Structure 1
Amino acid sequence: MISCKRAFLNLTSVAAAVVLGFSSIAARAADITGAGATFPYAVYTKWAEAYRAASGQTVNYQGIGSSGGIKQIKARTVDFGGTDAPLSESELDAAGLVQVPTVIGAVTIVVNLPGIATGQLKLTGPIAADIFRGAIRTWNNPAIAALNPGVKLPDTAITIVHRSDGSGTTDVMTNYLARQSADFMREVGAGKTVNWPVNGIGGKGNPGVAANVQKIVGTIGYVDFADARKNDLPFVALRNRSGNFVLPSGDSFTAAAAGANFKVKGMAPDLLDQAHPKAWPIVSATYILAYQKGDDAARQKAVVDFFTWALRNGQAMADGLGFVALPNGVVSAVEDEMKRIK
C-alpha cells in the first residue's frame, strides 16, 4: 500500500514537472523580438524592463536604424519593427503590415563650439539647410553672424555629423530641411539615406552621431532629443514657422502635435514645421510595424499585449526620457488599430 502510494506521488511529481516544463516553453515562445529605429531605443528598453517585472515576459529590442527595422519585419525575422519614417499606405498593404505610433519625439540640432551653450546659437531653417548642404562652411559666416549679434563665433570650419546608416531620424531631418531649401532638396535630397556633402562624417545610430559631435570641435549634427540631453550637447535655437526662436522641449513637442489627425490609415500625420507659436519645427512620432496576419498566434498576441501595456502604463516613462506621450484620443485609436494584428 505504501509503495503504491509512493509510486502515485512520484507519478504526480513527474506530471507536475512536465506541466511546468511545457508552461516554461509556452512562456518562452511568447517572448518577442523587435528591431529598428534608434530614436525610441531608450523608451522601448525601459518599457521592456518594466514589462518583464510586471508580466514575466521578455521583449528584446535592437536599435539598428529604421531601414534595418523595415527590412527585418518585411523579411519576417522579427516580431515587430521600429521606424521613425512611416511607411505609406501602399507599402503597408503590399507587405501586409499594421503601423501604429507609440510616442512623439523630436530631432534636435546640436553643436560643439567652445563657449556656446544651449540656446545661445540661433538658426533659421534656410540657414540650417545651407549649413547641412555644405554651402556655409565656417562658423563666423556673415549669414550666421547676422542671426547672432553679440555671440563670439569662431573662424572654425564646420564639420557636419550625420548618420552613416539608413535612418528614420535622417528622414525626418532631411524632409524638414528640404522644405526650407530647394537647393538642399536638389543637392542632398530627403529620405533615410541621402547624398551628404564632403565636409561631413558619419556616425552609426543616434548614439554614434552624438559621440562624434561630443568629441570633435566645430561640429554640427542632428540627434533625437533623448540622446542630445543624455550626452549634454548644446541645442541650437531654431526659428519656427510662426517666426519665434524655440528650443526643443516637451512643451514645444506637444505644441507641434496639437490638433494632428492620427486617424488616417497608417496613423502618420505630418508634424513637421507646424504653425503653433511654441512648436519645435522638427517633430515626429515614432512607429512600430507588425504583421497583420502572423505565423505565430502567441507571438502576435504578445506584441499586442506589450504595446497595450506600454500605452496604458509606460507613457510617464517616455516623458522622463525626453519624449511626449500620445494624447488620450490617439491611444484609444492605436488600441483599435492593433485589433487588426491577428
Structure 2
Amino acid sequence: MKMHKFAKLAAVAAAGALVLSGCANNEQPTGGEGGEGGSELSGTLTGIGASSMQAAQEKWVAEFMTQNPGVQVSYAPEGSGAGREAFMGGGADFAGSDRALKEDENKAGEFGRCAEGSIAYDMPMYISPIAIIFNVEGVDDLNLNAEVTAKIFDGKIKKWNDPAIAELNPDAELPDADIHPVHRSDDSGTTENFTSYLSEVAPDAWPHEPDGEWAAEGGEGAKGTSGVVAAVTNGTGTIGYADASQAGDLAQAKVGEEGNFSELTPESAAQIVENSPVEEGREEHDLAMELNRKGEGYPIVLVSYAIACAEYQDPAQAELVKAYLSYMASEEGQKAAEEAAGSAPLSPKLAEQVNASIEAIK
C-alpha cells in the first residue's frame, strides 16, 4: 500500500491539545427526532480521554449539539489514562479510553459522579486499526512482522538495512541509517493495545508486559497521537505507532507473518473485534473485550470505550450521558465516525450489546 507525503499533518499536530467543544446556538438543527423542537435536553456534558478518537469526537460533538441545541458538550483528547483518572476523580461525566477499566479498577463507590455503590460500564464505541507509520528516505512500502516490529521498538534492531528487515522487503532500497523509534510519553491506551499485540504475537521478542506506559528503554517519547505523528513526520529514519485516523499521508506498514501480510483497513481491523469475546467474569453490561489478535484480520487494532456510571448521582446528568452515548453508538453516529475518522462501525451484534448497556444506565 503506497501512501504519499505529509501535507495534512501540521493541522493535526496543532489541534491535538484542544478541547473539542462547540456552540450550537448559531447552527440550524437538522430535523428528525433531535431536530428543531424535537429535543428538550439541556445541560452541560464533559468527556475526557483517548486522543485516538479525536476526529470522531469532533464529529459526534458537532452533530449531537446541532440536534440538541440546549446541550453543551466538550471532549478533551488528553489521553486514555487522563480520561480514566478524571472520570474516577469526578472531573468528567464520561471517559474515552482505548482500554477498558481493569476489574480491580472497576469497584463500586470509586467514581466521583456515580451514585454510591455504582460500578462503571465499559462500552465499545470506536474500532480502528493502529498504523505503524514511518519516515524513511526512498521507502514508501514496508513489510513488518511482529518479531521484527518488537525488536525495532525494543532497540534490538538499530539499522534500516538490518538483514531481518531486508529479508521481509527484498525490493526496497533500505538505507544504512539509524532507526529512531517514537512512542507515546503519556499513559496511552494506544500504547497498551500496541504492546498487547507485540506481547501476544511475538512474546519471545517483546519481554515487557502490555501496559499503557511505555516500558522499553530508549527511543523518543511524544505526547498524544498528534505528538507521535508530528515526531515521525519531522524526524529522519523514524518509526512510530498511531491511530490510523490521524496518520495522515504518512506511509503505513503492512503487518503480518512472512508471505501473509495484512493490509491496514478498518474492515480488516473489525474482523479481529468481531471474533473476540467479552472478558469472562465481567458484570452484566460491562463490555470489556478480550481481543484475539491471532485471528483473521489486521492484528494491531484498538477498541476505544466510553466509560460511564452504571448509576449517576444526578438523574438529569444520566439522561444527558445516555442521549450522547446513544448517538455515538447509533447507525448515524457510527457512520459519522467512519466518515470523519475512517473507523469501522460496530457490528450489529456488538451494537445491540452496547445499546443494552446504555439503556441500563440510571
User: What is the Cα deviation at residue 36 of structure 1?
Assistant: 0.8
Other-structure match for 2:214: 194
SS of the equivalent of 2:268 reads helix
How does 1:119-268 map onto structure 2 within 5 Å? 120-186=141-207, 188-198=208-218, 200-228=219-247, 231-239=248-256, 244-262=260-278, 265=282, 266-268=286-288
State the superposition RMSD in angstroms: 1.9
Other-structure match for 1:16: none
Out of 118, 127, 149, which is 1:104 matched to?
A: 127
Other-structure match for 1:53: 66
8 Å CA contact 1:43–1:317 kept in 2: the answer is yes
Other-structure match for 2:56: 43
Question: CA 1:27–1:314 in 2, change beyond 3 Å: closer, same or farther?
Answer: closer
SS of the equivalent of 2:360 reads coil
User: What is the Cα deviation at residue 168 of structure 1?
Assistant: 0.2
Aligned-pair identity in percent equals: 32
User: What is the Cα deviation at residue 274 of structure 1?
Assistant: 3.4
**AA paired with 2:358?**
M
**AA paired with 2:274?**
A
SS of the equivalent of 1:326 reads coil
Q: 2: CA distance between counterparts of 1:274 and 1:178?
A: 11
**AA paired with 2:96?**
G
Q: 2: CA distance between counterparts of 1:274 and 1:267?
A: 20
SS of the equivalent of 2:275 reads coil
How far does the alpha carbon of each residue in 1:39-74 deviate from its partner, in whole angstroms, 9 at most, with x for none? Answer: 111111210100111111221000111110110111
User: What is the Cα deviation at residue 185 of structure 1?
Assistant: 4.2
**AA paired with 2:187?**
G
Q: 2: CA distance between counterparts of 1:258 and 1:181?
A: 22
Q: 2: CA distance between counterparts of 1:101 and 1:160?
A: 30
**AA paired with 1:238?**
V
**AA paired with 2:210?**
A
Q: 1: CA distance between counterparts of 2:360 and 2:279?
A: 14
Residue 291 (structure 1) aligned with residue 309 (structure 2):
yes
User: What is the Cα deviation at residue 243 of structure 1?
Assistant: 5.8
Q: Which runs of 5+ in 2 are unaligned?
A: 1-39, 111-118
Other-structure match for 2:87: 73
Q: Which runs of 5+ in 1 are unaligned?
A: 1-25
8 Å CA contact 1:262–1:330 kept in 2: the answer is no
Task: Tell me which stretches of 4 or more aligned residues in structure 1 moved more than 6 Å.
Answer: none
How far does the alpha carbon of each residue in 1:283-324 deviate from its partner, in whole angstroms, 9 at most, with x for none? Answer: 121101112222222111101101112222211112221111
Other-structure match for 2:352: 332
User: What is the Cα deviation at residue 128 of structure 1?
Assistant: 0.4
Question: CA 1:338–1:263 in 2, change beyond 3 Å: closer, same or farther?
Answer: farther
Other-structure match for 2:96: 82
Larger radius of gyration: 1
Other-structure match for 2:23: none
Other-structure match for 2:5: none
How does 1:270-285 map onto structure 2 within 5 Å? 270-276=290-296, 279-285=297-303
Other-structure match for 1:4: none
**AA paired with 1:154?**
P
8 Å CA contact 1:80–1:288 kept in 2: the answer is yes
**AA paired with 1:290?**
A
Question: CA 1:196–1:336 in 2, change beyond 3 Å: closer, same or farther?
Answer: same
Q: 2: CA distance between counterparts of 1:63 and 1:126?
A: 31
**AA paired with 2:304?**
T
TM-score, with length taken from structure 2: 0.80
SS of the equivalent of 1:89 reads coil
TM-score, with length taken from structure 1: 0.85
State the aligned residue count. 307
Q: 2: CA distance between counterparts of 1:80 and 1:167?
A: 17
Q: Which has the higher helix share?
A: 1
Other-structure match for 2:105: 91
Q: 2: CA distance between counterparts of 1:27 and 1:332?
A: 24
